Structure 1
């Protein structure tokens, strides 16, 4: 026998002639007829009028219950609703029409209110679908016209007006603006956007589009007009994929849900056996069959695991919906529960704990004026496309926007070492220690200064003009501004071990770790070494999360209990490989996700205690006759609604400041 679930909303329709709330209206009509039936006893209308009112109450109270039970039984399933119908039919057989009508009224009212409450959680998810507007202004051949977003093709140019929603994923090709990305990434501050360098390039397969160039469907444009090139069709936008994944997440059962499903498989047949035995109690004890049957029906109601069946799904649905609203995609109940049970988190360094790109950290002038040294650096390094050269030029120009550099000649790159050039007839060398070992070596004092910087995690470049060493510049992939705060919040949440895994050398790893509060730093790691480190943490702590970019760290993320991808908005690989995706490139979303998961685990445990506790109390009370059918129904339906509304508290979850 297959046990079904009365809460499988995807397979049942609860609306009718009176709209989506028909079930609730039927329940209220059932209650009104039941009330008039009770009153008829005091008004002298006679038993036939009361019976007619009770039968009417049976119809309105049992309509949707019977509809669900029959639909499920036709598919070979077994509904909790069926148990309620049997109990109501049993009451009618015993001529206890009032008790049966009370059962159907409270059960149908509880059912209707429960669907209403669960609908609130679903609305948080469905609201995502309404983020993107249905139409866009297509700019084609000098003509602007409004089209449905389904008509847009890759490469089309669309016009986005000020303070309007962006309809599809794309790149900015004209105009400068700021965009509110909170609906997709959870970022609270608008993000500045500017045009791409190459307007004609095909960006639809480019995974490395800069954040300042990219826009997402469902986000809100600022106060400027911009033109956007479409890079994803409407049904493949980030928001569309997010909706699909959140809906898919509902179907993935958590460990607790799997436990309750297994429990129900044994529990429901046991209850049916107990009810059958209680129906035969009149053969053993001195009482009429009617009393044995009535007691059996009371036990049937008391033991129906309605609250147990809905306790975990309602919490998972609410938790996933709240996470999505905060820019975090949690792919189902398992990662939601596992994330809240973690004591260890492993982090990739580059791009996760750090900015992912080198920044100018020190300028040390050894000879002449600093201004002349800066001009020389900009003149030579601006001729190179190396990331370090770009970082040096950008770092200097940020603080000295009006700098006027000389024109270098004969600029030559020296692979793996640096660059040479000529300025004012003198040879300029800028590079690492290896470059100068090939060109006469370094003075001892200068070499010690450079070594000291490198031990602190800096990458150093030495500059020499003619025969004179004129300065040192150092660069570093600096920690994210929020990294230290995030790690302290994780420690406050009970994360005992925070380990950084990186391919960079151990000195760099330790330098970054010391700045942000990482407990353990491991450098010089190949991808397979990261996997081994995650396995070791898993053995030590039982569960471990791996936080990375979803691309280079995919093997380690796959081995972890929970794989968490940073900056997953727009990234196919990150969305596919991770159990949890932080849609915005913001590390601060991690404590929010873990805090939410811990709250969800607490609520799931509370719901289990409420549901199992109520069954454990009601069964002996109804068997002994202390509680009759009416009180059993009230307690039973009360516990079902209690677990649902308890789960809905997750929709209002806010992280601690």
Structure 2
């Protein structure tokens, strides 16, 4: 099929043919000195189709132009009526048929031709705004090279088996989600995270289907295939999101179901009262809410598409609208504002009969049976100092909000905060309270260690603050967020030290998982629209209750992609203010488009009753407003670079809360 044939069979075929017929009609009319664009049978083309042959031929061509463009419109109107929907196509169909009956051939041709152009523009625009989805589909891999029976075999990507070894060579697309088991290379992950800088991959690293090798050679163990890949989930999510309706769009559609019959009734009453059929038909044309109908969906599709290109998945139009209203953001400290990789900083011995190795050894072995995130730094530190850490305690008992109690070699070991001492009925703290206070004042997280009911020491860990945490908070404020709240189960002194560094507005410390839900509900009761950023595990209740739940670094989590209201594919703090800014821009464009559409309709109504606005002029202005609405929405597709006002000019090393407090002391 040639390009011309495809073009003619596409949305532009009808207006092209209709337009050519109008041009031929105009040329024939001009050959006898008649204005082809006159209105009424007294001017231009007559009702009786009498006169010179060129004039009669011109009228027939104009009628043909109206029929070519009008028949598809009439068919759409009839199909809509069959399902009890009065669509705007019906307004145009009635006006065009009426114009033909009373001899307004040019008006009929012009109205249907311009309306067909509007349909073609809308179809083309929706395809263009869905370009993000098309690009994602385009990067989906077709083939894979796998190792089978010691040989390299090229197969369809869908035929790769779980745990099979896939080879990724320079320039090839990664066909599956998987783990690197050999080799090194650089992958372009823009299709997943929106990040254009290639990411170095080595043994143990995760890779995603659809990413492209920019060098090196990787052996990958397949963990996700076909519909189970991150790319497939993203495509599914974007497809659903672009079809999901915003509340404003739903309202506009309900409004349209009453507005369109109202315009028909207004035209009928006007025609009966004035006896002016042309005026009634003109009202039908200028009352078409074309720009109003397309104003919201084109904006939503463009906004969600732009987000997808930047690694920001928004669940749908409703969530995009809500995101634009966010006034409070609740953030977990560990893993969000900090790197989430604490390390051991202090071991204080409080039992003179023991030494550092004893305190650290007992603490590390007790924590071996704990799932607490602070267990890992103790175990790693003990292992690095050559202390035994293998094996598990005979018994482990977590104490929610306080710590852990374990039985080791028949001895009872407890590791946790000061309230744990009361839970263990230990009244003599041997100075543990003072040491905990000192370490907390330095921005560290202290834990008391007890052995058989007596305090033997205090260990402390610290986390590093992310280098872009402060800039993220500043950008959130710039984006219109008035309250940034840090939520943490950590010591208040530690939490306040981090808060002072990054600039959050409020600190809620020493929280249990269920307390985070309470904080979110409290913020909502105070009138805030709340976004909660969490990991979806112990934050699940708070994420579900918040107006918008945000998952960060969701590329490795299929559940987060499917369930989060906003999924930030890359673990990048600055994506959060970018997402809120995009939502605000999209809603702003929606409002602008609604204003353009309403002002156009009102101006045309005034123009009709004041005189001077014909059917053709009305439709021309309408399609002009449709084009303006489309162009306005297309602005959202442009990538807007975030201006950094806080990023250091030279790379800064990660800092701990301890560093912050020590600076304050100095």
Pick the TM interval, shorter chain.
0.7 to 0.9
* Alignment-derived partner of residue 3 in structure 1: none
| Cross-structure match for 2:24 | 36
In 2, distance between residues paired with 1:392 and 1:20? 71
3-state secondary structure, aligned to 1:586: coil
Q: Does 1:87 align with 2:95?
A: yes
Partner in structure 2 of residue 458 of structure 1: 444
> What aligned pairs does 1:606-617 form with structure 2 within 5 A after superposition?
606-617=592-603
2:519 to 502, 510, 533: 533
Which residue matches 2:482? 496
Secondary structure of 1:175's partner?
strand
- 1:299–1:623 Cα contact (<8 Å) kept: no
- Note closer, same or farther for the CA distance 1:553–1:576 as it changes in structure 2 (3 Å cut): farther
* Deviation of 1:511 (Å): 2.6
Deviates most, 344-353 or 382-391? 382-391
| Among candidates 347, 353, 367, match of residue 331 of structure 2 | 347
Mean Cα deviation higher: 126-135 or 44-53: 44-53
**Worse overlay, 45-54 or 636-645:** 45-54
Residue number in structure 1 paired with 2:582: 596
Equivalent residue, structure 1, for 2:11: 23
Choose the corresponding residue for 2:247, options 251, 255, 258. Answer: 255
Aligned pair in 2 of structure 1 residues 54, 473: CA closer, same or farther (>3 Å)?
same
- Separation in 2, partners of 1:227, 1:412: 34
Secondary structure at the counterpart of residue 69 of structure 2 = helix
Q: Aligned partners of 1:523 and 1:643: how far apart in 2? A: 48
1:565 is aligned, of 540, 544, 551, to 551
C-alpha displacement of 1:519? 0.9
Deviation at 1:433, TM superposition (A): 9.6
Pick one of 301, 318, 339 that aligns with 2:285.
301
Give the counterpart of 2:124 among 104, 111, 116: 116
Aligned match for 2:234, one of 232, 237, 242? 242
Query: Secondary structure, in 3 states, of the residue corresponding to 1:224?
Result: strand
What root-mean-square deviation, in Å, do the aligned CA atoms of Structure 1 and Structure 2 show?
3.9
Alignment of 1:2-401 (within 5 A): 18-19=6-7, 22-44=10-32, 45-196=53-204, 213-283=205-275, 292-360=276-344, 391=377
* Partner residue, 2:541: 555
Question: Which of the numbers 620, 626, 635 marks the counterpart of 2:612?
Answer: 626
- Flag the 1:617–1:170 CA change in 2: closer, same or farther, 3 A: same
Deviation at 1:448, TM superposition (A): 4.6
Worse-matched range after superposition: 36-45 or 641-650: 36-45
CA distance in 2, matches of 1:363, 1:318: 55
Is 1:475 aligned to 2:467, yes or no?
Answer: no
Structure 2 CA distance, aligned partners of 1:20 and 1:180? 38
Per-residue deviation, 1:558: 1.5
Q: How many residues align?
A: 596
Corresponding residue SS for 1:569: helix
SS in 2 for 1:223: strand
* CA 1:413–1:645: 2 relative to 1, 3 Å: same
Distance 1:408 1:502 in 2: 31
1:270-314 deviation line (CA, Å, top 9, x unaligned)? 11110111221345xxxxxxxx11111111111111111110111
Deviation at 1:627, TM superposition (A): 1.0
Aligned to 1:578: 564
**Quick one: structure 1 residues 43 and 525, their matched pair in 2 at CA, closer, same or farther if it must change by over 3 Å?**
same
1:360-399 Cα deviation digits (max 9, x unpaired): 4579999xxxxxx99x989x979996865753687899xx
- What's 1:5 paired with? none
User: Contact 1:314 / 1:644 at 8 angstroms: preserved in 2?
Assistant: yes
Gaps of 5+ in 2: 33-52, 351-355, 397-403, 450-456, 644-666
Question: How much does 1:352 deviate?
Answer: 2.2
Q: Is the 8 A contact 2:347 2:360 kept in 1?
A: no
C-alpha displacement of 1:458: 1.0
Q: Distance in 2 between matches of 1:161 and 1:656?
A: 34
Distance (Å, rounded) in 2 between the aligned partners of 1:566 and 1:407: 36
Cα displacement (A) at 1:232: 1.7
- Residue of structure 2 equivalent to 1:7: none
Deviation at 1:269, TM superposition (A): 1.5
SS in 1 for 2:642: coil
Contact 2:553 2:571 in 1 (8 A): yes
TM-score, normalization by structure 1 = 0.81
- Structure 2 distance, partners of 1:355, 1:459, is 15
Q: How far off is 1:538 after superposition?
A: 1.1
1:529 CA displacement: 2.0
Whole-angstrom distance in 2 between the partners of 1:620 and 1:462: 79
Mapped to 2, the partners of 1:321 and 1:647 lie a distance apart of 12
Structure 1 spans left out of the alignment, 5+ residues: 1-14, 197-212, 284-291, 367-372, 398-402, 422-428, 464-470
1:550–1:577 contact (8 Å) kept in structure 2: no
Q: After superposition, give the CA deviation of every residue in 1:514-551 in whole Å (9 maximum; x if it has no partner).
A: 22111111123233322221111112124111111122
SS across alignment from 1:250: helix
Contact 1:574 1:581 in 2 (8 A): yes
> For the residues of structure 1 that align with 2:467 and 2:513, how far apart are their CA atoms?
26
How far apart, CA to CA, are the structure 2 residues paired with 1:523 and 1:244? 38
Q: Does 1:517 align with 2:503?
A: yes
Relative distance call for 1:56 and 1:526 in structure 2 (3 A) is same
Q: Name whichever of 67-76 and 181-190 sits farther off.
A: 67-76
Work out the CA distance in 2 between the residues paired with 1:236 and 1:615: 48
Partner secondary structure for residue 186 of structure 2 = strand
Distance 1:272 1:635, change over 3 A: same
Q: Secondary structure at the match of 1:257?
A: helix
Cα deviation code 1:55-104 (max 9, x no counterpart): 23123323543443344344443332222122111111111111111112
Taking the aligned partners of 2:247 and 2:590, their CA distance within structure 1 comes to 11
Change in CA separation of 1:34 and 1:384 when aligned onto 2, cut-off 3 Å: same
Q: Structure 1: how far apart are the matches of 2:321 and 2:513?
A: 27
CA contact (8 A) 1:16 1:22 kept: no
Change (3 A) 1:412 1:238: closer
8 Å contact 1:544–1:561 — kept in the other structure?
A: yes
Deviation at 1:655, TM superposition (A): 4.4
For 2:145 and 2:580, how far apart are their aligned partners in 1? 41
Q: Sort the Cα spacing of 1:365 and 1:528 in 2 relative to 1 into closer, same or farther, 3 A.
A: closer
